[in-house]
A and B are shown apart, each in its own frame.
Chain A
Amino acid sequence: MTLGQMAYDILSLGVPFSVALLLAALGEMFNQRAGVFNLGCEGIMSLGAFVGFLPAYLARSGSLGPWADLLGFALAAVVGMLLGLLFGLVTVTFRAPQGIAGIGLAMLGTGVAGTLFRHEIGGVTGVEGVANLPIPGLSRIPFLGGVLFNHNPVVYVAFLLVPASGYLLHRTSWGLRVRAVGTHPRAADTLGIDVNRVRYQALMLGGALGGMGGAYLSLCQAKMFADDLVAGRGFIAVALVYFGRWSPWGVAAGALLFSLAQSLQLSLQVWGIRFPYEFAVMLPYVLVIVVLALSRSRTIGPTALGRAFNREMRV
């Protein structure tokens, strides 16, 4: 096998792997830009994965076809939004500590998804999932065609969301408000901006993206549901936001880096290269830790991150 082929294998596998992380991490980025630290991403992804899977599973003998998958993504987005709303109620309105509330939401989401799965479905069942949609013309380009343009449609949408998020954050009035309430909520308040309302909005958007990230896992990547499908990706997504320094492009780079490490690890096994399997599996996670430890912060993140806003709390 040539080096070029190896690179091709790793890249063409790694790009679609990154999408679940990318969606969830973009969502978390909006949360954090608005000043809310949502560790519950894991739970939102789990429940999103389950409800996204449900229509396709129930309609597996019917004729809904791709509509079942679309319905699944929509349901996952709605459920994610509702969980974001719940998190807002707990941390924004009742001002509970965000770290603890996030752990709670992570456990709630995974727990409920697992229970419903065992109750309604029972065993591991596959679905057809979302089919690949090669882009006419572009997918024929040697090497790049297979790496970039021969995937399921959600991959394309997710990568278009990167510049779209950048636009939303920096070129719209909503983005301006989000950045302000995450950095200096008191200043935003004195200008008549409803800090908590903006935070709720960001949490709902973040939740929707997290839920869709989960649905991507069950509908596009694994094409099945299992209790441990999400397997910590929600927490990795939170880490990627720090790695990406709260910018959509940075977050995308982080998601790609992590998933390329993961696809390298899988490829090593497929190629039968003698390398301890346990170390290979560890690789992506170790990489994230090393990169986070070594990346010295040059840009300062949202300075009000993690603190509930209370107008009448002085100092």
Chain B
Amino acid sequence: MNEPIRELALEGITKRFPGILACNRVSLEVRRGEALALVGENGAGKSTLMNILAGLYQPDEGSIRVNGEVVRFASPADAFDRGIGMVHQNFMLVPSMTVTENVALGMKALHRRIRLDLKEARRRVLEVSAHHELPVNPDAPVWQLSVGEQQRVELVKTLCLGARLLILDEPTSALTPQETDDLLDRLRRMMAELSIIFISHKLNEVKALSDRVTILRHGEVVFHGSTADHSTAELAALMTGRDVVQPRNEQSGAPGREVLTVRALRVRGDRGNLALDGLDLDVRAGEILGLAGVSGNGQRELADALAGLRPVESGSIRLDGAEIAHASPRRIIDGGMGYVPEDRHHEGIVGPFSVEENLVLKDVGKAGFSRHGFLRPGEIHRNAEELRERFDIRCSSTAAAAGTLSGGNIQKVILARELARGPKALVAVYPTRGVDMGAAEFIHGQLLALRRSSAGILLVSEELEEVMALSDRIAVIYKGRILEVLASRDATRRTLGLLMAGVPLG
């Protein structure tokens, strides 16, 4: 067992990547039994800083002190030896291996002998899992586990390897509200023996768990203080550097006719399973229908089917009265469907193409942007400049490759292209996932503006705050069907959370 960490300090840590100053003389400290929240927008340097503490990256300047002693971590194994372990945002588990094998991979004592002593690793897993009340099945292959279970495995693994300080990088980003509450509970109990550094941009979780908070902006510490003394609004302002007013749906105006009708839709997933099994859905003109659900319950297949990217097994999809269930993407696009895909880097844009080209991708064959098969660069450029202005796309020039833009700006490029075409219906899949608060605010504002112009919007999201703030109605998807549709004003976090977990309203 490692010595407990009474005090850990990062002093003046600087880390440069080619062209980026990721961390600029960052200092912070954590004491025994304390939870520190590390807060900041995307690209603020939180993960880089924690990767340095976990021994994955080497700092260019600065030092790390554990219990007053300066330490250098050449690899994560060194950090584990001093009791520092990190649970990464994207789980670091080998899916084809069992839970025990994943833990054994990191147990140095087992690697000194040729024969692999899996029994010893299994014993350790069970011991830690019982001690910290983190139930895991040591013999299950990781690929069979749900996201929540994998998270527990990550915690158990990190603790098995001797962590006394847990670094958690956005631990709740893939969890349901219930799983999130459950995790926060467990972490609170574990704090009797451990210290925690908790990276997040969900300020309500920061308030719920942490004792102190350190806020990073552009690689520098801009605030450090006690969590209890500051409201979430204050923290948000410190995080973004200005006051943030998240736009809300005022629920004004009456929805019109149905623009998107889905009936008894059956669609297969990538593994041949029925991902959508008799799904019914209506989106009316002038409303935002939020589709809430834990990811993996058919959202991706629904979005693909609506955009014509996945074959429909049976059922019907009508876009403004016209059947599009078996139509080509081209016909669906021409029929007035807008689409903001989940994977914005690969489906939303062509990365190496310029911003200008990406903005006309869907209309490049139309008169206006080309004549007799030849492009009209002047028109394409003028269009891009206009949209850049209107959608606040921040790029060095519209000739820059779209793939080099930040996530938020790529999303604005996609939104600009889709909205400029004046869609009758828009399918927006996780439109603000991984974008920073400022860009999210802008994107939300644009979706609400589109709603006012009487388009019907299907907003697929797993962020309850987002769904509740923007939607007129909320549909909950569970195992390929709509479990319930609620008026937004009747929906609470609790009811939605239960529905998302598959518990019908009783």
Contact = CB atoms under 8 A, between A and B. Distances in A.
Interface string A185-210: 01111111110000000000000000
Interface centre among B55, B88, B97, B113 (most CB of A within 10 A): B97
A179 B75 contact: no
B130 to A, nearest CB: 23
Size category of the A interface is: 20 to 34
A172 B110 CA distance: 10
Contact of B95 (A176, A183, A192, A194): A183
Contacts of A186: 92
| Chain B residues touching A, majority SS | loop
A170 to B, nearest CB: 8
A171 interface: yes
Interface string B81-110: 000001010011111110001101110101
B374 interface: no
A300 B141 CA distance: 14
A312 B78 contact: no
Contacts of B115: 171-173
B111 A173 contact: yes
A163 to B, nearest CB: 15
B105 A193 contact: yes
A191 B55 CA distance: 10
A184 interface: yes
A181 B454 CA distance: 52
Interface residues of B, number: 32
A274 to B, nearest CB: 47
Contacts of A171: 115-116
A151 interface: no
Given A173-B113, A173-B114, A192 B94 contact: no
Nearest to A184: B94
Nearest to A190: B92
Contact of B54 (A172, A177, A190, A193): A190
A190 B76 contact: yes
B57 interface: yes
A222 to B, nearest CB: 36
A303 B94 CA distance: 10
A175 interface: yes
B86 A192 contact: no
A18 to B, nearest CB: 28
A119 interface: no
A180 interface: yes
Contact of B94 (A173, A174, A187): A187
A192 B108 contact: yes
Given A191-B106, A192-B78, A311 B92 contact: no
A177 B55 CA distance: 19
B348 to A, nearest CB: 15
Contacts of B57: 311-312
B75 A192 contact: yes
B96 A300 contact: yes
B77 A192 contact: yes
A183 B96 contact: yes
Nearest to B48: A314
A183 B94 contact: yes
Interface string A25-51: 000000000000000000000000000
A195 to B, nearest CB: 11
A190 B101 CA distance: 15
Contact of B116 (A176, A187, A193, A311): A176
Given A186-B92, A189-B76, A176 B101 contact: yes
A46 B88 CA distance: 45
Interface string A288-313: 00000000000010010000000110
A172 B113 CA distance: 8
B150 to A, nearest CB: 12
A174 B57 CA distance: 25
B339 interface: no
Nearest to A311: B56
A36 to B, nearest CB: 17
Contact of B114 (A172, A187, A190, A311): A172
Nearest to B101: A176
A2 to B, nearest CB: 47
A184 B95 contact: yes
Interface string B106-127: 1010110111100000000000
B39 interface: no
Contact of A190 (B86, B95, B108): B86
A191 B154 CA distance: 12
B444 to A, nearest CB: 25
B13 to A, nearest CB: 16
Nearest to B157: A191
B80 interface: yes
Contact of B92 (A173, A174, A179, A187): A187
25 contacts: A171-B116, A172-B114, A173-B104, A173-B111, A173-B114, A174-B114, A176-B101, A176-B104, A179-B94, A179-B96, A180-B97, A183-B94, A183-B95, A183-B97, A184-B92, A187-B92, A188-B94, A188-B105, A190-B56, A190-B86, A190-B92, A191-B105, A192-B77, A194-B75, A312-B57
In the A-B complex, the 3 residue pairs with the smallest Cβ-Cβ separation, listed nearest first, are: A192-B77, A191-B106, A187-B92
Interface of A: 171-177, 179-180, 183-184, 186-194, 300, 303, 311-312
Given A172-B114, A192-B108, 14 more contacts: A173-B104, A173-B115, A174-B114, A176-B101, A176-B105, A179-B96, A183-B96, A190-B92, A191-B76, A192-B75, A192-B76, A192-B106, A193-B106, A303-B95
